[in-house]
């Protein structure tokens, strides 16, 4: 596809009726932990026409970030999620989305809309499923039979009608429980239900206070995010290496050993993660995560 997107699908914008009770139940059970922003904009999450007035269509797009197997980190290194190896995906993909939206305006004339990449209250996985791009799996990630799950989700919401794609209605996980069995903190409490307050990604990125001592020894050296439930998923044997140079790790990151992480200064953090999504946790957050792992 143009601008490097893996694939795209289009769904009619409207109220996500089936998602409403699931989201309400998830929030009521406190599975969002300290992520108070999840409680806000409930109506906007369920209806993009409230987020983008006049919206008629939601275009969902996938962008691959699966790294080359040739990338070799030092053996005794702390781990970060693959999506954070290179430059911050928000900035990289948003630029591509804007270029794509401009092309749509040139082709269809006067249209209004907005582009999003993990930047607004949108149920991205639900829209991608409605657009025919995959199904929401037992680990609550969107999975494609052809492409696995190592991709970013992005949207263009606009006031133009299209011929819409058919949603994926079949769950291709079958009897497999690999992700549930492998989750280090047992955060996947039921098929497609993740207790976010138990997830390593939540602890290492979202949580701003001390990590509970009860999780000591469970993090498997993950210091920013966690890929375990994706790494063990059989469908990811179909993942192909991305071709976006901006998502490749810099040389200094590849050379870090555990000692380097433990002794990392604020200056080193700023240099190594200058344009990375890891900067979201800030130096103090990464230092907290590392200290929790090394105790």
Q: Are 235 and 149 in contact (CB under 8 A)?
A: yes
Q: Write out pLDDT tens, residues 91-118.
A: 999 999 999 999 999 988 889 999 999 9
Single out the residue of 58, 157, 154, 164 nearest to residue 97, CA to CA: 154
Q: Write out pLDDT tens, residues 202-247.
A: 999 999 999 999 999 999 999 999 999 999 999 999 999 999 999 9
CB environment 171-206: b (16+ within 10 A), e (fewer)? eebeeeebbbebbbbebbeeebbbbbbbbbbbbbbb
3-class secondary structure, 246: helix
What is the bridge-based pairing of β-strands 142-143 and 135-136? antiparallel
Tell me the mean pLDDT in the region 259-287. 95
Torsions phi, psi for 178 (to 5 deg): -55, -45
3-class secondary structure, 248: coil
Q: Using pLDDT thresholds of 50, 70 and 90, give the confidence band for residue 74.
A: confident
The angle formed by the CA atoms of residues 89, 13 and 113, to the nearest 5 degrees, is: 55
What is the bridge-based pairing of β-strands 57-64 and 193-194? unpaired
Q: How far apart are CA 100 and CA 12, in angstroms?
A: 19
Q: Are 286 and 269 in contact (CB under 8 A)?
A: yes
Give this prediction's pTM. 0.94
Percent of the chain past pLDDT 90, that is, above it, reads 90
* DSSP, res 148: B
3-class secondary structure, 9: strand
Helix-then-strand count for the chain, H and E: 12, 10
For residue 107, the surrounding DSSP H or E stretch is helix 89-108
Q: Which residue is it, tokens 């929030």?
A: 27
3-state helix, strand, coil in the chain (%, to 5): 40, 15, 45
Residues tagged active-site:
118
> Does position 295 have pLDDT exceeding 70, yes or no?
no
Q: Are 107 and 162 in contact (CB under 8 A)?
A: no
Q: Write out pLDDT tens, residues 126-162.
A: 999 999 999 999 999 999 999 999 999 999 999 999 9
Q: How far apart are CA 29 and CA 161, in angstroms?
A: 37
Tokens of 41: 């904009």
Q: Are 247 and 85 in contact (CB under 8 A)?
A: yes
């Amino acid at each position: 596809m143009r601008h490097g997107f893996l694939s795209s699908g289009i769904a009619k914008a409207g109220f996500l009726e089936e998602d409403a009770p699931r989201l309400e139940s998830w929030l009521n059970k406190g599975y969002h932990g300290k992520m108070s922003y999840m409680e806000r904009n409930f109506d906007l999450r369920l209806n993009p026409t409230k987020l983008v007035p006049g919206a008629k269509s939601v275009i969902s797009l996938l962008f691959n970030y699966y790294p080359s197997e040739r990338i070799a980190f030092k053996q005794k290194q702390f781990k970060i999620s693959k999506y954070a190896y290179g430059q911050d995906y928000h900035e990289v993909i948003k630029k591509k989305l804007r270029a794509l939206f401009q092309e749509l305006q040139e082709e269809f004339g006067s249209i209004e809309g907005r582009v999003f990449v993990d930047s607004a209250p949108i149920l991205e996985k639900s829209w991608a499923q409605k657009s025919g791009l995959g199904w929401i799996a037992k680990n609550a990630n969107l999975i494609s039979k052809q492409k696995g799950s190592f991709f970013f989700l992005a949207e263009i919401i606009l006031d133009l009608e299209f011929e819409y794609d058919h949603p994926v209605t079949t769950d291709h996980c079958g009897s497999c429980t690999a992700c549930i069995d492998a989750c280090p903190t047992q955060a996947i409490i039921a098929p497609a239900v993740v207790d976010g307050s138990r997830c390593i990604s939540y602890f290492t990125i979202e949580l701003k206070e001390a990590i509970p001592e009860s999780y000591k020894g469970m993090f498997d050296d993950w210091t920013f995010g966690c890929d375990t439930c994706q790494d063990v998923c059989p469908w990811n044997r179909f993942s192909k290496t991305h071709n976006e140079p901006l998502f490749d790790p810099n040389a200094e990151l590849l050379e870090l050993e555990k000692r380097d992480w433990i002794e990392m200064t604020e200056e080193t953090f700023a240099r190594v993660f200058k344009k990375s999504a890891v900067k979201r946790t800030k130096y103090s957050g990464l230092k907290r995560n590392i200290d929790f792992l090394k105790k």
